Amino acid sequence: MHVGAVQTTAGPDPVANRKAAATLVDEAAGAGAQLVVLPEYFSVAGSPAHLREHAESLDGPTVAWGSALAQRHQIHLLAGSFPERPEGGVADDRLFNTSCLIGPAGRVEAVYRKVHLFDAALDEATVQESATIAPGAQLVVAPVGPAAADGLPPVVVGLSVCYDLRFPEPYRIMALMGATVLVVPAAFTAATGPAHWELLLRARAVENGVWVIGCGQVGVLPPGMPPCHGHTMVVDPWGTVVAERTEPSPGVVLAEASMAQVARVRSQLPVLAHRRPEAYRWPDDIRRGTVGGDG
């Protein structure tokens, strides 16, 4: 499957952001991409108050924009993430950080709400995403494209967002649920990105024998968000970065995500088959007495 990853520098104006993103989606689709991935908060960036002001429902303008774009190009479009105000709200009035996979017919085929929230004390600033965003509670995988052929695994996308990347458990679970491509739309900070971004993307790929698409915001965002690392990249199941945007500017990264390579790597290094879950004990389970402490 031909894939495209779009790197943006989002501003405070959703209309302008969607217009800029559409130009890059057009470029990716025009180059043959069948799956195009946008970064976290591609449609609006700014302070918590600004995100609240521009939060939308799933039938709001950002999803409608993505639906029209996917249908026009006959692609799968991963609308990286946007601030969602769910129907009926949540109990504490927080939003969700929501990613939508939209199919060629313009229908939303999967919805993922960011599970792990970025509460961190960096040298440059303290960030507390959980003050504005409520955590999601479900992992999501979705088939993309035609059914598998010639004994190859199907293209199944596992959804995640930014800070999720630091937690290996959901990616392993999604691989066991059938994911062969993991997408990581992000606004990874310039403070942590040089040391951690590529390292973690490659680790998730190697651990699970999957393709990983890491799609980042880049540069200086509006006040309320830290500067972002960018370096949008596609990593193959062997852990090789096969395509990357090193320029600190918006643009498109293109690659061919071969399912034959997934099959080959998983045959050579069958780590998923070699798992021994009967030997694994979570410390929390032992403390709660839900498993025997002596294994």
DSSP 136-149: P----EEE-SSPP-
- Higher pLDDT pick, 64 / 294: 64
Please compute the mean of the pLDDT values over residues 101-107 and round it to a whole number: 98
Catalytic member of 56, 100, 129, 162: 162
Told to judge if 40 belongs to the known catalytic residues of this protein, a careful annotator would answer: yes
Residue from 174, 214, 211 nearest 196 by CA: 214
In the set 40, 56, 84, 129, the catalytic residue is 40
Annotated catalytic, 228? no
So what's the pLDDT on residue 92?
85
Q: Using 50, 70 and 90 to split pLDDT, how confident is the model at 285?
A: confident
pLDDT tens, position by position, 45-92: 999 999 999 999 999 999 999 999 999 999 999 999 999 998 876 768
User: Is 2-288 a domain of CATH 2.60.40.1930?
Assistant: no
Catalytic one among 114, 129, 215, 228?
114
Give dist(CA 191, CA 211) in Å, integer: 26
Res. 122 pLDDT band, cuts 50 70 90? confident
Rounded to the nearest 10 degrees, the angle between the axes of helix 193-208 and helix 168-176 is: 30
pLDDT at 126: 82
* Confidence tier at 290 by pLDDT (50, 70, 90): low
Q: How far is CA 86 from CA 79, 83, 191, 194, 273, in A?
A: 16, 9, 32, 34, 39
CA-nearest of 248, 255, 212 to 231 is 248
Determine the average pLDDT of the residues in 220-243. Answer: 96
CA atoms within 13 A on the CB side of 153: 25
For residue 233, what are the β-bridge partners? Answer: 214, 244
